[in-house]
Structure 1
Amino acid sequence: MFFCIFILGNAYAASLEITLVAVVVLLLASLIQSAFRAGHAVLIALVPLFFYIHIPYVLPVIAGLSLGLMSIVPISIGIMLYYFIEYMAGHTAVAASQGDITAMATAYAGLFGNLFKDKEAIVAILAFALCVVVVFIISQIPFDESWIVAAGAGILTTAVTTFFGHMHFGLETSFIDMLPGLLLSCIVSIAYVFAFHAVDYQRTERLRFEDDDYVYFVKAVPKLKSEDEDD
C-alpha cells in the first residue's frame, strides 16, 4: 500500500496521464502478485523498499534460504518495479510537457521500452537470480554452518556479478560505494540465520535404527533454544 501511494504521488506530480499509466502498471503488478503464494508475493513489494534503505542484497539471500528457486520470479518483478519508480521519477516530466497526443504516446511507449532495456536493471536481476541459486544449493548441502556459508556466498555472488556486469555494460560502478550495503546486508542475513535457523552443532547426535526393510543412519542437530524455552 505504501508503495502504491508513493508511486501514484510521484506520477500525479508529473501529470494526470502519467498517473493513469502508473495505475495500469500497479494493477498488472497486483495481478501478477496474486499468482504467487503470500511468502513469494510479498517480495515484489519488499524489493523496492530494501533498495531505498540501501540493503537490497539481503533479500535474495533470505529468499534462497527460506523460499527456494521460485522466489527468483517475484524478486525480478520487484526489481523492475523499483526501476520503473526511478525511471518515472526522472523522466515523466518530459513526457508531461508534450502537448501533442502523438508525441505523448511516443514518450509513454519510450517509458516502458527504455525500462526493459535498462542495463542496470538487467544486471540486478541477473545478480539476484544467481544469488538465490547459489544460496539455495549451498544451504541444501548437509555440512555444519551451511546456512551461514550460503548467506556469505550469496552476498559475494551478488557483489561479483554486479561489479563485472557493470563493467561489461560500461556502467559506472564503485565497489567502495557498494561495500557499506554489502556489509550491512551480510550482517542482516547472518542475523536472520541465527534468528530462524540457529542450531547447536556441539550437541549433534548420530543415531542408528532399523525396521524390517531398512537400516537408518540419522544425523540430528538440535535447535538452539532460549532459556525461557528450556524452562
Structure 2
Amino acid sequence: MIGNKIGYQANLTKLPILLMAALLCSIMPSNFMVLISAGFILAHLYKLSLFCAVVALIVFLLMFLLYFRFSPKDTIAVMLTPMCFYLSIPYVMPIALGLMGTPASIVSMSFGIIVAFLVNYISGNATTLTGSQIEESAVQFRTIISELLSNKRMWVFIVAFAITLAIVYVIRRMSVDHAWTIAIIAGSLANIICLLVGDMIYSTGLSFLGVIVQTIISILLLMVLQFFAFNLDYTRIEKVQFEDDEYYYYVKAVPKVTVSTPAPKVKKINVSGAGKDYRGKDRGE
C-alpha cells in the first residue's frame, strides 16, 4: 500500500524487497512493523523531497515518543488506521478499537490518522513539492507543516474518532445483554453525528452519502469481528450470588456460543461370530 500510494523509490517496490520485509516483520516483535513501515515511508519521501522526509521524520518521532509511552501494544491501531483510510473504510477503526482496545488506543489511532493525511497530502501535491524554486528554500517545509496543522478535515476525524472510541468502550463494558451490538450501533451513530457536525462547522467537504455507505460497510465488518471475538448465548444467562468474610458477590455469567459435536458411536459388527475363526469353527476346536 505504501508503494502504491507514494512509490517514488522504485527499488523498494520490488517483490523480493517486500517479501524480505514481510519475513522480518513475521519473526520480529510486533512493534517492528511500525518501525519498518516508517522507514519505507521516509525512504520514498526522501526520493521525492528532502523536506517531505524531514516533516515525516518529525511526525514519526513524536508518534514514537507518545505511542511507546501510552500504548506500546497498539501496533494494530497504528498500522490499520492508515490502511483503512487507503481502503475507504476508516470508520471501522474507532469502533473496533473501542471494542477490543482501551482509551489509550486514541493516541495510536490519532497518529495513524495524521500519517494517513500526511501521505495523502504529499501524494496529491507531489508536483508542487518538487518544484525547483521551493526545493531551494525552507518554504516547502513551512508549507507542509502549515497544510498539515491547518487541515480541518483531519482534526475533525481525530476528534470524532476519539469520541466514538470512548462511547463504544464505555458501552461494551456495561453489564447489559448484547453490549457489543449496542456499542457498535451507538458508536456508528455517534461517529456519523460528530463527522456531520464537524463538517457543518468547518466545511470539510465530507459526503453525507459516502459517510452513510462506508458506515454500513463498517458495521457489517464489525459484526463479523463480533462473531469471532465475542459471540455469546444470551438465552442461557446465569446469575450467581455468594459471599466471603468481606464482600458480597453478584455474578452474571453469559456462556459463549459453542458448536456441539455429537458423541462418537461405535458400531460392533459380527458380534455373534466373535468366538469363531474365519471357517466358522470354534477357536477351541
Tell me if TM exceeds 0.5.
Answer: yes
Q: Which residue of 2 aligns with 1:83?
A: 117
> Contact (CA 8 Å) 1:167, 1:173: kept in 2 or not?
no
Q: Which has the higher contact order (CA 8 A, sep 6+)?
A: 1
Amino acid at match of 2:232: V
Which amino acid counterpart does residue 200 of structure 1 have in structure 2?
Answer: D
What are the within-5 Å matches in structure 2 for residues 73-152 of structure 1? 73-99=107-133, 104-152=137-185
Q: Distance in 1 between matches of 2:134 and 2:146?
A: 20
Contact 2:70 2:107 in 1 (8 A): no
Structure 1: which 5+ runs fail to align?
none
Tell me if structure 2 keeps the 8 A contact 1:44–1:78: yes
Q: Secondary structure at the match of 1:224?
A: coil
Q: What one-letter code is carried by the residue in structure 2 that aligns with 1:189?
A: L
1:15 maps to: 49
Q: Work out the CA distance in 1 between the residues paired with 2:59 and 2:245.
A: 59
Query: Alignment partner for residue 162 of structure 1, among 179, 187, 195?
Result: 195
Asked if 1:42 corresponds to 2:76, the answer is yes
- Contact 1:11 1:89 (8 Å CA) reproduced: no
Tell me how far apart the structure 1 counterparts of residues 199 and 117 of structure 2 sit (CA, whole Å).
16
Aligned to 1:185: 218
Cα pair 2:67 2:108 within 8 Å, conserved? yes
Gaps of 5+ in 2: 1-32, 265-285
Contact 2:199 2:206 in 1 (8 A): yes
- Which has the higher Rg, Structure 1 or Structure 2? 2
Deviation at 1:174, TM superposition (A): 2.0
Say whether residues 1:172 and 2:226 are aligned partners: no
Q: Confirm or deny: 8 A CA contact 2:71 2:104 kept in the other structure.
A: no
In structure 2, how many angstroms separate the alpha carbons of the residues matched to 1:157 and 1:113?
A: 30
SS across alignment from 1:104: coil
**Per residue, is there more helix in 1 or in 2?**
1
Is 1:29 aligned with 2:29?
A: no
Normalising by structure 2, what TM-score?
A: 0.71
Are the structure 2 counterparts of residues 10 and 162 from structure 1 closer, same or farther at C-alpha, using a change threshold of 3 Å? farther
Distance change (3 Å), C-alpha of 1:217 and 1:19: closer
Paired letter, 1:109: R
How many pairs were matched up?
Answer: 229
Determine the structure 1 residue equivalent to 2:228.
Answer: 195
The 3-state SS of whatever aligns with 2:210 is helix
Quick one: distance in 1 between partners of 2:242 and 2:194? 46
Cα shift at 1:182: 0.7
Residues 27 and 215 (structure 1), Cα distance of their counterparts in 2 relative to 1, 3 Å cut: closer
Q: Check the 8 A contact 1:208/1:216 in 2, yes or no.
A: yes
Structure 1 window deviating more from structure 2 (107-116 vs 8-17): it is: 8-17
Question: Contact between 1:138 and 1:149, CA under 8 Å: does it hold in 2?
Answer: yes
1:141–1:160 Cα change, 3 Å: same
TM-score normalized by the length of structure 1: 0.87
8 Å CA contact 2:71, 2:105 repeated in 1? no
